[in-house]
Structure 1
Amino acid sequence: MPGRCALVTDSTAMLPPEVAAQRGIVVVPLQVAIGAEVHDEGSPEATPERVAQALREFLPVSTSRPAPAAMLAVYESLAARGVEEVLSLHLSAEMSGTYESAQLAARQAPLPVTTVDSRQVGAATGYAALAAADVLDAGGSVAEAADAARRRAQASTSVFYVDTLEYLRRGGRIGAASALFGGALAVKPLLSIEAGRVTTLEKVRTASRALGRLADLAVAAAGDQQVDLCVAHLASPDRAGSLRDELADRLAGQLSGRAVWFGEVGAVLGAHVGPGMVAVCVAPLVDKPASC
């Protein structure tokens, strides 16, 4: 019999399938269109490798949110299994309509659904989901779990490097003027997520300097806190692997034996950042409420 409360997130949260299964987190996929084909993120037809190849070949690649009906079907299936309440946590509403779909579906759901906008993307949303799962597993309420998720998402730092701003421009995540400026100067932009949006953090001249700055920014974000750490990439395993190894060494005290998550971003995020992207997420641990 499932627990009284269930936790739902979306595929951009980058939760490894085995982690989601172990923690009982339901993952709703976004969709990726490559040419005329539309597939769920995470399916064999919508892999990061295929998206990277399509972008290199200038094939049209786009993404879309889960429809409200798809979200409602998830909530209805949980109710049918005996779940009494749902916490539905998703990527920034400034970046996707997924959160809106969750809100619309929640109004028609046969059980109470609390929706949370993480104001983050990628692993930061995933770590927020795990903070919520910790609270629920310890007997906390959905309200307490939602608060833990918000606090961890707000405390997290997401910074990333892209080879070009063109893919973000195509997806409407940055303005055309910013993309043109970056391309004209041949700079390597460092970006971050601020208030739920992609913002330019710094501009450097070479990829090696960009990766060095990513490492320094991650160390600064961690400070002396205990953290979880994710290093992700799209079609850039060597660069990302070197960064992972450096950060695992420099932040050994803050990790206290916890493994660094490492791998390619999902197809949806990959479609917007393009091949060569390297990202770091630093997520400080948060305290559980006293009632847990």
Structure 2
Amino acid sequence: MPSVVVVTDSTASLPPEVAEARGIVVVPLQVVIGADSYDEDSEEASPERVAAALKEFRPVSTSRPAPEVFREVYARLAAEGADAIVSVHISGDMSGTFESAQVAARGGPVPVTCVDSRQVGVATGYAALAAAQAAAAGATAAEAAAAARERAAACSSYFYVDTLEYLRRGGRIGAAAALLGGALAVKPLLTIEGGVVSSLERVRTSARALARLGELAVAAAGDEQVDVCVAHLANPDRAAALADTLGERLADQLGGREVWCAEIGAVLGAHVGPGMIAVCVAPAG
């Protein structure tokens, strides 16, 4: 085990095999379907179940890990030999997860540096990967945390939803609230800005939304080497088509790396609803 260990949360959307290979410990958030609460990484809280529940108008909500959960993880890692921990999490304006990590970090057995990524989804995951890469190269906790913040700040995240209703219900709509009212029938293009959901523009069709996501991703990449991820909830065909398009258009910037394409986790899915497609562009790690 490296002397500095990276912890993140399940909203970071890291494939389990990637997190394991990089030594990143993932703490799950909880999904509440009806009266039952499940860890996000459990079979009971699959994205498919959440999408089905939302379509059936069943109550779906989410909750952060309690500080005690983080405290136990930090203590276990210290017992296994960690000298310091860097804990990288979803934007503190979108979830109380970062706050729970901060509370748990106080008075722990080893120093814990908590990082608010100011991002959501795989952009947080890319930040955690940057911290893990730095730690594996011998960086201090402070240096690994700085690497996470730098990569998170450089990420560009764009997404569209079939309706703003799910974001409205969960109170996660932020500056995009200006799109409410008579605009619920359009396909809103959104981004993460200043740690919250913010509006970009509105389009009339899903096809146009997909085309704009592609254009925005290409513009964000520029001529730099980048990593790219396409995420979706209950919209696999269109997500795969966008990933294929970006793989072709950004072949030089990807340098042989594949475009990740996956269904988002249940927690984020509960807030965006079925049909959502997102793209994240990050400087290559």
TM-score by length of 2: 0.97
- What corresponds to 2:114 in structure 1? 115
- What corresponds to 1:199 in structure 2? 198
Structure 2: state its 5+ residue gaps. Answer: none
Write out aligned runs for 1:54-203 (5 A): 54-174=53-173, 178-183=179-184, 186-203=185-202
- What corresponds to 1:243 in structure 2? 242
1:177 Cα deviation after fit: 6.0
Asked if the contact 1:228–1:255 (Cα under 8 Å) also holds between the matched residues in 2, the reply is yes
Letter in 2 for 1:225: E
- Deviation per CA, 1:175-194: give whole Å up to 9, x if none: 666333321xx211000000
Tell me which moved more, 47-56 or 104-113: 104-113
1:84 Cα deviation after fit: 1.0
Task: Tell me the SS of whatever aligns to 1:108.
Answer: coil
- What corresponds to 1:290 in structure 2? none
Asked if the contact 2:2–2:135 (Cα under 8 Å) also holds between the matched residues in 1, the reply is no
Task: Tell me the SS of whatever aligns to 2:262.
Answer: strand
Letter in 2 for 1:192: T
1:141 Cα deviation after fit: 1.1
**Runs of 4+ in structure 1 over 4 Å off:** none
In structure 2, distance between residues paired with 1:174 and 1:268: 15
Task: Tell me the SS of whatever aligns to 1:102.
Answer: helix
Asked if the contact 2:84–2:111 (Cα under 8 Å) also holds between the matched residues in 1, the reply is yes
In structure 1, distance between residues paired with 2:42 and 2:29: 11
Asked if the contact 2:123–2:280 (Cα under 8 Å) also holds between the matched residues in 1, the reply is yes
1:142 Cα deviation after fit: 1.1
Asked if the contact 2:12–2:121 (Cα under 8 Å) also holds between the matched residues in 1, the reply is yes
In structure 2, distance between residues paired with 1:125 and 1:235: 22
1:285 Cα deviation after fit: 2.5
- What corresponds to 1:16 in structure 2? 15
In structure 2, distance between residues paired with 1:79 and 1:284: 31
- What corresponds to 2:275 in structure 1? 276
- What corresponds to 2:224 in structure 1? 225
Task: Tell me the SS of whatever aligns to 1:181.
Answer: coil
- What corresponds to 2:26 in structure 1? 27
TM-score by length of 1: 0.95
In structure 2, distance between residues paired with 1:179 and 1:14: 28
Structure 1: state its 5+ residue gaps. Answer: 287-292
Letter in 2 for 1:268: V
- Deviation per CA, 1:118-138: give whole Å up to 9, x if none: 000101011111111111111
Letter in 2 for 1:258: R
Asked if the contact 1:152–1:285 (Cα under 8 Å) also holds between the matched residues in 2, the reply is no
In structure 2, distance between residues paired with 1:82 and 1:166: 46
In structure 1, distance between residues paired with 2:88 and 2:183: 33
- What corresponds to 1:289 in structure 2? none
In structure 2, distance between residues paired with 1:27 and 1:196: 21
Task: Tell me the SS of whatever aligns to 1:116.
Answer: strand
Aligned residue pairs total 283
In structure 2, distance between residues paired with 1:154 and 1:182: 30
Percent of pairs identical after alignment? 68
In structure 2, distance between residues paired with 1:23 and 1:8: 11
Asked if the contact 1:72–1:108 (Cα under 8 Å) also holds between the matched residues in 2, the reply is no
Task: Tell me the SS of whatever aligns to 2:43.
Answer: coil
Letter in 2 for 1:143: A
In structure 2, distance between residues paired with 1:5 and 1:140: 8
In structure 2, distance between residues paired with 1:150 and 1:165: 29
